[in-house]
């Protein structure tokens, strides 16, 4: 087991919120960065669910949140206490508070096409719902952000168990007019089940051969999802939040999905 793999496993298995004491120095992080980003690419790929052409869901872990913090602070030569507090506060939204919970980032893809704009408005109006059937439980997703009517393409969700269910493993999502479901791949089922109890998962970066050889083709509902022609109920005025422009120069973490807003393909 490499040094980077041991470090990633240790960070993943801890159940506490991230603090400055969990971070590597910039110099130490640069030495391990390439290996850590490769691990993150694999880690996120295994936990990425494509809901539709316009929606994707990436389940996060304490490791991906930690790497997000390291990447953001890497660009700041002398981060202030306020900078540190803001980064930790935001990234800790991706760390489950208790065992049995999962955290995820929901991405609305597709730019300004009608379907994407519909989903952005739908989520802002609290008309979007998502739930996971996994390990005999129904884990219902809830947005981490307060209900402010903010238009945004990226949202943090927390999934908490709300009921028992049968053995089926699937993701269920939709709006107030229609709900859709898709089965989880063997890989997604395996890693997410382990994530429910991270401290007891000694090898989260190594999937069994039988699971790795199993592939599931992504299928989208034939009837479409959340048709943009639907009229949403009247809600308070929405305000648009513009994404900050990312700095350029240096190595890019795009391949890992850390520090950027990936499409989730």
> Model confidence over 74-129: pLDDT tens digits?
988 888 999 999 999 999 999 998 889 999 999 998 778 899 999 999 999 999 99
Short-list 7, 252, 43, 228, CA closest to 122: 228
The C-alpha torsion from 72 through 73 and 76 to 80, rounded to 10°, is 120
Higher-confidence residue: 15 or 260?
A: 15
Bridge partners of 130?
173
Q: In whole angstroms, what is the distance from residue 32 CA to residue 4 CA?
A: 6
> Model confidence over 173-209: pLDDT tens digits?
999 999 999 999 999 999 999 999 988 876 777 655 5
pLDDT at 231: 41
Higher-confidence residue: 241 or 87?
A: 87
CA angle 17–60–147, rounded 5-degree value = 80
Distance of CA 111 to the CA centre of its chain: 19
pLDDT at 35: 95
pLDDT at 250: 45
Q: What mean pLDDT is reported for the chain?
A: 81
- 105, 95 in Cβ contact below 8 A? no
- 57, 105 in Cβ contact below 8 A? yes
Q: In whole angstroms, what is the distance from residue 48 CA to residue 57 CA?
A: 6
pLDDT at 258: 57
Distance of CA 190 to the CA centre of its chain: 17
Burial 41-79 (b: 16+ CB within 10 A, else e): bebbebbbbbbbebbbbbbbbbbbbbbbbbbbbbeeeee
| pLDDT mean over 118-147 | 91
């Amino acid at each position: 087991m490499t040094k980077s793999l041991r470090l990633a496993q240790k960070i993943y298995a801890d159940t506490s919120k991230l603090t400055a004491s969990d971070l590597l120095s910039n110099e130490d992080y640069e030495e391990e960065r390439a290996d850590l980003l490769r691990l993150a690419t694999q880690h996120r790929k295994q936990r990425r669910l494509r809901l539709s052409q316009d929606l994707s869901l990436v389940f996060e872990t304490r490791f991906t949140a930690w790497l997000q913090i390291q990447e953001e602070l890497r660009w700041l030569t002398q981060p202030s206490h306020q900078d540190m507090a803001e980064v930790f506060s935001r990234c800790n939204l991706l760390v489950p508070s208790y065992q049995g919970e999962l955290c995820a980032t929901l991405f609305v893809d597709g730019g300004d096409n009608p379907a994407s704009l519909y989903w952005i408005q739908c989520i802002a109006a609290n008309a979007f719902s998502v739930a996971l059937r996994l390990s005999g439980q129904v884990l219902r997703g809830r947005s981490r952000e307060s209900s402010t009517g903010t238009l945004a393409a990226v949202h943090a969700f927390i999934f908490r168990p709300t009921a028992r269910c049968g053995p089926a493993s699937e993701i269920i999502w939709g709006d107030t007019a229609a709900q859709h479901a898709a089965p989880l791949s063997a890989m997604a089922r395996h890693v997410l089940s382990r994530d429910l109890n991270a401290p007891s998962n000694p090898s989260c970066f190594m999937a069994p051969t039988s699971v790795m050889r199993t592939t599931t083709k992504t299928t989208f509902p034939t009837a479409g999802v959340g048709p943009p022609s639907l009229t949403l109920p009247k809600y308070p005025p929405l305000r648009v939040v513009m994404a900050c422009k990312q700095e350029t120069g240096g190595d890019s973490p795009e391949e890992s999905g850390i520090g950027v807003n990936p499409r989730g393909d």
